Amino acid sequence: MQGKKGRRARGAFAAWQTVLKQQQRTYLDFNATAPLRAEAKAACVAALDLTGNASSVHTEGRAARAAIEAARACVGVLAGVTARGVTFTASGTEAANLALSPSIVRAGEGKPVERLIVSAGEHACVLRGHRFAADRVDIAPLTRDGRIDLDALERLIARARGPVMLALQGANNETGVVQPVAEAAALVHAVGGVVVCDAVQLAGRSRCLMGELGADLMIVSSHKLGGPKGAGALTALSDALVLPAPLVRGGGQERNLRAGTEDVAAIAGFGAAAATALSEEETEAPRLLALREALASQVRASAPDAVIFGESVKRLPNTLCFAVPGIEASTLVMGLDLAGVAVSSGAACSSGKVTRSAVLEAMGVASDLAGGAIRLSLGWSSSEADIARFGEAFEPLVKRIRGHRAA
């Protein structure tokens, strides 16, 4: 690369590399994305050396296909389905967009779902990513503790007078509140409906077997597990459903559900992350729970009046969402970031403006308190040292903010 353009390109690349050389930081934002696991990185690198197209029948093509099918088997075990029940996508968002369609029918019945019921706490990819007409969508409210209101859900199902589709998270990405998917599924299945479960936050942190959840379709994502970004999956419990028309049409890959040459490296990394998460299934949840409770103790020691959202019900062992009355979320997020600790706001960001969290609003949380919500989320590389560093940053930050305001 020569001349001014080459120098600009090299300068831009060098500037990006300096980001990688920053001071040691404490990462507490696993619900947004998890650091890449060593096993997943190794699988990605190995797959990048595979020359063939996975749809080719020669030796090179079969090697690429073998990498994909090994990953498919691993993700299937994670979800509790056969490998045949796993459809790879480019993200959890794409999997949601694929699943949430009125064209789904139960095999042999020929009666498609006509209405979609969505819990008020769903991720934006579910709330905005469906293929139902606006007048065919109902929002199921949340209780004050952040769980779907089952009585309200039952009324919505009865009003529909026919098969419905329910989209319900396994656990909320902001509060960590675990949803009663099995109980909700029983209500939906009683009228011949279909349940789609966004299990992106469950996978690798809690059991997410589809048979236990009662879901017909489930969404999982690679980068939440410690795999690479750019891979997700829609899993189906059986062939009892006639699945929707594909979003991406072309060569017929993924059993005609998702066309396009597969990203072998991302899929291989996804499979490796799933296998590693499965190997830690018995030990990881209690380890994360102990770390989360240590974080909660740090928060209460520094701000005794802090409010922890969803505290009265079962939550993911890795997630702590709280607010300190009188302190805005943006102030805490920026202050902690400057101190080397990465956390996220419980509110959604759009165009640089922090807006009130729709999840907390659905829970009936007061506006001023919801505006101070931040989320701490842990994962596979989190340690007691991370908890200690958070406390060292959080306590003086709260004192400084409150001291400044008192003055």
Tens of pLDDT along 24-41? 899 999 999 999 999 999
Angstrom distance (rounded) from CA 118 to CA 126: 8
- Can you read off the two tokens belonging to residue 225? 């597990």
Q: What digits encode the pLDDT tens for the residues 350-388? A: 434 556 789 999 999 999 999 999 999 999 999 999 999
pLDDT at 113: 87
Across 99-112, average pLDDT: 80
Q: Look at residues 264, 279, 294 and tell me which one is the last residue of a structural domain.
A: 279
pLDDT at 239: 76
> How many domains does the structure of the chain reveal?
2
pLDDT at 242: 78
Across 132-158, average pLDDT: 97
7 in any annotated domain: no
Q: What digits encode the pLDDT tens for the residues 334-349? A: 999 999 999 999 654 4
User: Does residue 82 share a domain with residue 175?
Assistant: yes
**Closest to 205 measured CA to CA, from 359, 89, 319, 310:** 319
pLDDT at 381: 96
Residue 210: CA atoms inside 13 Å, Cβ hemisphere, count? 26
Across 126-153, average pLDDT: 96
User: Does residue 87 share a domain with residue 47?
Assistant: yes
User: Does residue 259 share a domain with residue 292?
Assistant: no
pLDDT at 11: 63
Secondary structure (3-state) at 87: strand
**Closest to 219 measured CA to CA, from 181, 256, 192, 162:** 181
Angstrom distance (rounded) from CA 315 to CA 179: 9
pLDDT at 21: 54
User: Does residue 182 share a domain with residue 107?
Assistant: yes
For the entire predicted model, the pTM comes to 0.90
* Contact yes or no for 181/167 (Cβ under 8 A): no
Across 250-276, average pLDDT: 95
pLDDT confidence of 1, banded at 50, 70, 90?
A: very low
User: Does residue 318 share a domain with residue 272?
Assistant: no
Across 162-186, average pLDDT: 96
User: Does residue 233 share a domain with residue 119?
Assistant: yes
Buried b or exposed e, range 366-397, using 16+ CB within 10 angstroms: eeebbbbbbbbbbbbebeeebbebbbebbeeb
Percent of the chain whose pLDDT exceeds 70: 91
349 is catalytic: yes
What is the chain's mean pLDDT, rounded? 91
User: Does residue 324 share a domain with residue 264?
Assistant: no
pLDDT at 65: 97
- Can you read off the two tokens belonging to residue 95? 């999997």
User: Does residue 313 share a domain with residue 266?
Assistant: no
pLDDT at 351: 39
pLDDT confidence of 405, banded at 50, 70, 90?
A: low
User: Does residue 274 share a domain with residue 286?
Assistant: no
User: Does residue 197 share a domain with residue 114?
Assistant: yes
pLDDT at 10: 65
21 in any annotated domain: no
User: Does residue 351 share a domain with residue 302?
Assistant: yes
pLDDT at 23: 61
- Can you read off the two tokens belonging to residue 104? 């789904």
User: Does residue 293 share a domain with residue 274?
Assistant: no
Q: Look at residues 279, 300, 334 and tell me which one is the last residue of a structural domain.
A: 279
Domain at 139, CATH number: 3.40.640.10
391 in any annotated domain: yes
* Contact yes or no for 141/168 (Cβ under 8 A): no
Angstrom distance (rounded) from CA 263 to CA 200: 20
11 in any annotated domain: no
18 in any annotated domain: no
307 in any annotated domain: yes
Q: What digits encode the pLDDT tens for the residues 317-327? A: 999 999 999 99
Across 179-200, average pLDDT: 95
Neighbours of 69 (CB within 10 A): 16
Across 89-115, average pLDDT: 87
Q: Look at residues 262, 279, 296 and tell me which one is the last residue of a structural domain.
A: 279
378 in any annotated domain: yes
* Contact yes or no for 219/89 (Cβ under 8 A): no
- Can you read off the two tokens belonging to residue 36? 């890449």
From the list 44, 125, 208, 349, the catalytic residue is 349
| pLDDT above 60: residue 82 | yes
| pLDDT above 70: residue 73 | yes
Residues pairing with 142 in the sheet: 148
Across 178-187, average pLDDT: 97
pLDDT at 246: 87
pLDDT at 136: 95
Domain at 320, CATH number: 3.90.1150.10
Domain around 62: 41-279
| pLDDT above 80: residue 291 | yes
Please report where in the chains the tokens 């469906």 appear, as a residue.
130
pLDDT at 350: 43
12 in any annotated domain: no
- Can you read off the two tokens belonging to residue 310? 């969803």
